[in-house]
Amino acid sequence: MPYGYTHCFNTHCPKGEKCLRHLVAMHSTNQYPTLSVVNPNCIPEDANSCPSFHPIRKIRVAWGIKHLLDNVPHKDADSLKRMMLSHFGRGLYYRFYREEKFIAPEQQEYIQRISVRKE
Protein backbone atom coordinates (compact mmCIF):
# COMPACT_ATOMS: atom_id res chain seq x y z
CA MET A 1 0.00 0.00 0.00
CA PRO A 2 1.20 3.53 -0.57
CA TYR A 3 2.63 5.42 2.38
CA GLY A 4 -0.13 7.32 4.13
CA TYR A 5 -2.92 4.86 3.24
CA THR A 6 -5.38 4.86 6.15
CA HIS A 7 -5.49 1.69 8.27
CA CYS A 8 -8.47 0.50 10.33
CA PHE A 9 -7.86 -1.58 13.46
CA ASN A 10 -11.56 -1.99 14.34
CA THR A 11 -11.71 -5.73 15.08
CA HIS A 12 -15.46 -5.65 15.83
CA CYS A 13 -16.53 -4.32 12.44
CA PRO A 14 -18.91 -6.72 10.64
CA LYS A 15 -17.55 -5.53 7.28
CA GLY A 16 -13.90 -5.94 8.36
CA GLU A 17 -13.28 -9.04 6.24
CA LYS A 18 -14.33 -7.14 3.13
CA CYS A 19 -12.53 -3.87 3.93
CA LEU A 20 -9.13 -3.09 2.43
CA ARG A 21 -8.28 -0.68 5.27
CA HIS A 22 -8.81 -3.46 7.82
CA LEU A 23 -6.87 -6.01 5.76
CA VAL A 24 -3.92 -3.62 5.47
CA ALA A 25 -4.02 -2.95 9.21
CA MET A 26 -4.00 -6.66 10.05
CA HIS A 27 -0.96 -7.22 7.82
CA SER A 28 0.99 -4.08 8.66
CA THR A 29 4.71 -4.48 9.24
CA ASN A 30 7.37 -2.39 10.93
CA GLN A 31 8.32 -0.79 7.61
CA TYR A 32 6.83 2.55 8.67
CA PRO A 33 7.18 3.82 12.25
CA THR A 34 3.94 5.84 11.96
CA LEU A 35 0.62 5.05 10.28
CA SER A 36 -2.50 6.90 9.24
CA VAL A 37 -5.37 5.35 11.20
CA VAL A 38 -9.16 5.71 11.28
CA ASN A 39 -10.05 7.52 14.50
CA PRO A 40 -11.95 4.99 16.68
CA ASN A 41 -14.17 7.82 17.98
CA CYS A 42 -15.38 8.46 14.42
CA ILE A 43 -16.48 4.92 13.61
CA PRO A 44 -20.29 4.97 13.19
CA GLU A 45 -22.56 2.65 15.17
CA ASP A 46 -23.97 1.32 11.91
CA ALA A 47 -21.04 -0.31 10.07
CA ASN A 48 -23.00 -0.24 6.81
CA SER A 49 -22.65 3.54 6.70
CA CYS A 50 -18.92 3.66 7.48
CA PRO A 51 -17.34 6.43 5.37
CA SER A 52 -13.92 4.77 5.70
CA PHE A 53 -15.02 1.45 4.19
CA HIS A 54 -12.97 0.61 1.11
CA PRO A 55 -13.98 -2.69 -0.54
CA ILE A 56 -11.36 -5.26 -1.44
CA ARG A 57 -11.21 -5.92 -5.16
CA LYS A 58 -8.61 -7.64 -7.27
CA ILE A 59 -7.49 -6.02 -10.49
CA ARG A 60 -5.31 -7.29 -13.30
CA VAL A 61 -2.44 -4.89 -13.89
CA ALA A 62 0.32 -4.78 -16.49
CA TRP A 63 3.96 -3.85 -16.01
CA GLY A 64 6.14 -2.03 -18.50
CA ILE A 65 5.76 -0.65 -22.00
CA LYS A 66 9.40 -0.84 -23.04
CA HIS A 67 8.74 -3.24 -25.93
CA LEU A 68 5.16 -2.20 -26.65
CA LEU A 69 6.00 -0.49 -29.94
CA ASP A 70 8.77 -2.83 -31.16
CA ASN A 71 6.70 -4.39 -33.97
CA VAL A 72 4.87 -1.23 -35.00
CA PRO A 73 6.00 0.75 -38.07
CA HIS A 74 8.07 3.77 -37.03
CA LYS A 75 5.61 6.44 -38.21
CA ASP A 76 2.76 4.76 -36.28
CA ALA A 77 4.93 4.06 -33.23
CA ASP A 78 5.97 7.70 -33.05
CA SER A 79 2.34 8.82 -33.23
CA LEU A 80 1.23 6.29 -30.57
CA LYS A 81 4.03 7.37 -28.24
CA ARG A 82 3.02 11.03 -28.62
CA MET A 83 -0.61 10.14 -27.87
CA MET A 84 0.39 8.23 -24.72
CA LEU A 85 2.68 11.06 -23.59
CA SER A 86 -0.15 13.52 -24.11
CA HIS A 87 -2.70 11.37 -22.26
CA PHE A 88 -0.58 10.12 -19.33
CA GLY A 89 1.93 12.94 -19.08
CA ARG A 90 5.69 12.59 -19.33
CA GLY A 91 6.22 11.54 -15.70
CA LEU A 92 3.64 8.75 -15.63
CA TYR A 93 4.57 7.50 -19.10
CA TYR A 94 8.22 7.05 -18.09
CA ARG A 95 7.22 5.45 -14.77
CA PHE A 96 5.35 2.84 -16.85
CA TYR A 97 8.35 2.54 -19.16
CA ARG A 98 10.79 1.95 -16.27
CA GLU A 99 8.31 -0.41 -14.57
CA GLU A 100 8.09 1.82 -11.50
CA LYS A 101 4.28 1.90 -11.68
CA PHE A 102 1.75 -0.66 -12.83
CA ILE A 103 -0.65 0.04 -15.68
CA ALA A 104 -4.22 -0.10 -14.35
CA PRO A 105 -7.05 -1.69 -16.37
CA GLU A 106 -8.46 1.71 -17.46
CA GLN A 107 -5.02 2.77 -18.69
CA GLN A 108 -4.60 -0.54 -20.51
CA GLU A 109 -7.95 0.04 -22.23
CA TYR A 110 -6.80 3.46 -23.43
CA ILE A 111 -3.59 1.98 -24.86
CA GLN A 112 -5.63 -0.77 -26.53
CA ARG A 113 -8.08 1.76 -28.04
CA ILE A 114 -5.40 3.96 -29.59
CA SER A 115 -3.45 0.93 -30.84
CA VAL A 116 -6.48 -0.56 -32.57
CA ARG A 117 -7.33 2.82 -34.10
CA LYS A 118 -3.86 2.94 -35.73
CA GLU A 119 -4.26 -0.46 -37.43
Choose one of 33, 49, 65: the last residue of a domain: 49
Residue 34 within any structural domain of the chain: yes
Cα separation of 6 and 52, whole Å? 9
Residue 95 within any structural domain of the chain: yes
Model confidence at 8: pLDDT above 80 = yes
**What is the model's pLDDT at position 119?**
57
**What is the model's pLDDT at position 116?**
84
* 3-class SS shares of the chain: helix, strand, coil, % to 5: 45, 5, 50
**What is the model's pLDDT at position 67?**
93
Containing structural domain, residue 26: 6-49
Residue 55 within any structural domain of the chain: no
- The interaxial angle of helices 74-88 and 105-118, nearest 10 deg, is 150
Residue 63 within any structural domain of the chain: no
pLDDT digits (tens, 9 = 90+) for 22-81: 999 999 888 888 889 999 888 888 877 889 999 999 889 999 999 999 999 998 999 999
Mean pLDDT of 85-105: 95
| Residue 11 and residue 45 in one domain | yes
Q: Give the total number of structural domains in the chain.
A: 2
Residue 66 within any structural domain of the chain: no
